Amino acid sequence: MLVDASRFAALQEHLSDSIRVASRTEGGGDAGGNIFGELLRHVRDSHEIDTPWGEVALPHYPPVSIGGVTIDLSITKHVLFVWIAALILFAIATAAARKNRKAMVPSGIGNLMESIVVFMRDEVVVPNMGKGGVRYMPYLLTTFLFILFMNLLGLLPYGASATGNISVTAGLAIVAFVVIQLAAIREQGIGGYLAHLTGGVHWALWPIMIPIEVLGLFTKNFALCMRLFANMIGGHIVILSFIGLIFLFKTYLIAPASIGFALGVSMLELFVAFLQAYIFTMLTSLFMGLGMQAGHAEAGESH
C-alpha cells in the first residue's frame, strides 16, 4: 500500500497536536509535545535544520514551472544531508586512496577501505555477476558507502536520515535501473536484450509475455526503492511509538520501559544502517548479474 506524502504529513501534525493537548491536560506542559515534535522533525523533511542553538532556515527559492509542472528547487534538510554524505564519502575515499598510494601495506583508514573493497568484490560482485562484474565495482562500492553514510547520519543528534525520504530512495533506484539495463545491453547487445523480453516463448504469446517482462524490469527497482525507504523510516516510527506510550497511558511510570525499548531500537538501527546498505547493493548486483548471465546463456546456446 502506498502512503500519500501529504496525508502522512497531515496525520503527523494531527498526532502531534493531540499529544500536546494530552500532555497539557495531565499537567506535563509541552514536554510530551516537544519530544514528539523532535521525533517527527527527525523523520519529516523540512526547510529548517535543528542545531544546538535552535532552528536554522535553509535557502528557499521560488518554484519553477517547466512544461506545466511546478518544481521546488529549494534546499531542504534531506537534500543538505545528501550533500553532507557525499562530501564525507569523497573526503574518506580521497584520504584512503592517497594513503594506500604511499604505503605498500595499508593501515588505518586505508586498511578499512581496502577491507570493504575486498568484501564487496569477493562476497557480492563476483558471486552474483562473475568476474566480468568487477568492472562495475566503482558504481556498486559508491552505492554501498553512500547509502551507509546517509543511514548513519540519521543516527546522530540533530541529524536526519535522507534515506527515509522516498524521493531519495527513488533516485537511487532510478540510477540502479539505468545501470542494470546498460549492463544487460552491454553483455547481450541490443538485439539480444530485446529478444529476452519475449521470454523465449512462441511469437503468438509475445503480446502477453512482453508486457510482463517489461513490468518485471520496473518492479525490481520499485522494490529496491520501497524496501530502503520503509526500513529506514520504520525504525524512527517505532521509537516514536514507544515514546508515545507514555502519553497513551497518561502516566510517567511507564517512561523507564518506553525509553529502554526506544534505546534498544536505536541500537538496532545501527545494525539496520549497515544491513540496508548491503541489501540494496547486493540486490542491485544480483539484478545486473541476471541480465549479464542471460547474455552468456544465449551465446552458449548459439554455439
- pLDDT the model gives residue 121: 92
The pTM is what? 0.79
Q: What is the pLDDT of residue 194?
A: 83
Checking if the pLDDT of 39 tops 80, the result is no
- What band does 21 get if pLDDT is binned at 50, 70 and 90? very low
At 164 the pLDDT is 87
pLDDT-derived band at 296, boundaries 50, 70, 90: low
Which of 287, 286, 276 has the alpha carbon at shortest distance from 149? 276
Residues 6+ apart with CB under 8 A from 124: 140, 278, 281, 282, 285
pLDDT score of 14: 47
Q: With pLDDT > 90 as the criterion, what percentage of the chain qualifies?
A: 29
Mean pLDDT of 32-58: 71
The pLDDT of residue 226: 92
Q: Give the pLDDT score at 40.
A: 61
Q: Give the model confidence (pLDDT) of 92-142 as tens digits.
A: 999 988 888 877 777 788 888 989 999 999 999 999 998 888 999 999 999
Least confident of 20-34, 50-64, 100-114, 181-195: 20-34
pLDDT given at position 24? 46
The full set of domain ranges for the chain reads 1-44, 59-302
> What's the pLDDT tens digit per position in 200-244?
777 888 888 888 888 988 998 999 999 999 888 887 778 777 777
Query: Taking Cα atoms as reference points, which of 104, 84, 82 lies closest to residue 92?
Result: 84
**15 pLDDT above the threshold of 80:** no
The string of DSSP codes covering the chain is: ----HHHHHHHHHHHHHHHHHHHHHTT-TTHHHHHHHHHHHHHS--SEEEETTEEEEPP----EEETTEEE-----HHHHHHHHHHHHHHHHHHHHHHHHHH-SS--THHHHHHHHHHHIIIIIIHHHH-GGGGGGHHHHHHHHHHHHHHHHHTTSTT---GGGSHHHHHHHHHHHHHHHHHHHHHHHHHHHHHHHTTTT--GGGHHHHHHHHHHHHHHHHHHHHHHHHHHHHHHHHHHHHHHHHHHHTT-GGGHHHHHHHHHHHHHHHHHHHHHHHHHHHHHHHHHHHHHHHHHHHHHHHH-
- ∠ CA(147), CA(221), CA(200), 5° rounding? 145
In this predicted structure, the answer to whether residue 152 has a pLDDT above a threshold of 80 is yes
Residue 154 has pLDDT above 90, yes or no: no
- Greatest mean pLDDT among 34-38, 63-67, 209-213 lies in 209-213
pLDDT confidence of residue 241: 77
